Structure 1
């Protein structure tokens, strides 16, 4: 009887004791460590000017000994960033659309063997990674997506097609559901993302290339986020938006906000932010 009791109790204990770690490395770069220990990095422009691990001659890749998956929302340099170097160092597999993945390999040297039909996808698609611990859904984004051509000839384009821009929904077993907007404008079909009611939404607020703080707060409400974290601000002269304006706008929507500092890590116990 004691053995049977232990068997039935183990899943309950593991679920309650599950922790997910979320680190913001500045701009749109986030690192997620799942309860099972899988490491997922989204849009790893780690050399961005607000990342404390990239200042004073530091190597921002030095702290990454293990990365299992790199997720790219689109092809712009401030999102692709250090994906190739990080992949070569850690062996991480690439999750992106097919066009971006193909050109990352052909033009930028991303290891071809670290991507495939198991990880390359498109908007509306759904895959499982980390041995099924994480379900990844690729969501629409209203933006553009082009990848720099480093060796373009005189008659060739400097920027090549990199598929459609996207966002990601990560549904983590025994952890939070996380929505990363990528770069996007507000769009009505965010209401469909709201069917997943993300526990945390990582939302671009910088304006100019995407949503203003006011529109970002509207997006948080539309996707029914339980917590909203701003990103994509303060790294370029034109991205001068103040996250306080986002927090104030969220207050009108009655949605909690968390303004993280670059390099900061927060922990979720199950689906709830650990205080």
Structure 2
């Protein structure tokens, strides 16, 4: 277990022993940052897969960057059998590795127009990229995907980092080229389960009133904006399980284990959950430890 999760050991869930994901059930694996692998039978779906872990200097000084091919290869077992990748927005920590994974797997991408344009400029096949927006619904294999509106949290005092629009159409080479674009959230339905996933948000934009109840709510809580809307979001979704996401230090290599990011505040989330008596069981996942949703 990552050292940062040790004090919350009672909240961490995982399957007791490795086993294949059976059809009719859904297994969830945390890939770090806001990345997830969902499996049912021989089918898999990824959200925001990111293994390269670009350092903080790439954001501050903006040198040329690219995917870390060695790290992606190390994680290759976790994108086997992938039928579709969902990207919540276009920032480096959500999209940088996607074109490489698409090339290696032949999978497709659903994302905003900006994120699709970035992925194609970075080498993804246009034929396997589809731009989607709130209200769109797609059925891909066993996955029913409903696209929902979302917002990106602000980083004080600068606001939303690299919000866009894109400048030019060339290959993205620096962190600042990977602009946010339109943020999206998703409702994923398969194997009789309903999973909501976003990467953050703001108090002014909650999930639609008619969305709940869901079986699992994956809620980005990296920054104060997202944490402020946490309780209202959970009440709106009425989940059985609540998984706070985007809490780890995504500048830190994955092989060093989970550590909470410098701007995260999981104790705040815990206090909010207890004080407000929110619905659903609060859980955590460690890196690469599958958990089958009951």
Give the alignment's TM-score, normalised by structure 1: 0.74
User: 1:29 matched to which residue of 2?
Assistant: 35
1:183 to 191, 200, 220: 200
User: 1:11 matched to which residue of 2?
Assistant: none
For structure 1, list consecutive stretches of 5 or more residues without a partner in the other structure. Answer: 1-15
User: 1:4 matched to which residue of 2?
Assistant: none
1:46 touches 1:81 (CA, 8 Å); kept in 2? no
| In 2: Cα distance, 1:191 partner to 1:95 partner | 20
Number of residue equivalences? 235
| In 1: Cα distance, 2:230 partner to 2:106 partner | 34
User: 1:62 matched to which residue of 2?
Assistant: 76
**SS of the residue aligned with 2:76?**
coil
User: 1:245 matched to which residue of 2?
Assistant: 268
2:150 to 128, 141, 145: 141
1:207 touches 1:239 (CA, 8 Å); kept in 2? no
Superposed counterparts of 1:154-193, under 5 Å: 159=177, 163-172=181-190, 174-192=191-209
2:219 touches 2:230 (CA, 8 Å); kept in 1? yes
**Cα displacement string for residues 22-45 of structure 1 (whole angstroms, at most 9, x for unaligned residues):** 00011100000124x221000111
**Which of the pair has more CA radius of gyration?**
1
Q: Report 1 or 2 for greater relative contact order, CA contacts < 8 Å, sequence distance ≥ 6.
A: 2
| In 2: Cα distance, 1:101 partner to 1:189 partner | 24
**SS of the residue aligned with 1:25?**
strand
1:20 to 16, 20, 26: 26
For structure 2, list consecutive stretches of 5 or more residues without a partner in the other structure. Answer: 1-21, 55-67, 153-159, 252-260
RMSD: 3.1
Give the alignment's TM-score, normalised by structure 2: 0.70
2:200 touches 2:221 (CA, 8 Å); kept in 1? no
| In 1: Cα distance, 2:232 partner to 2:262 partner | 19
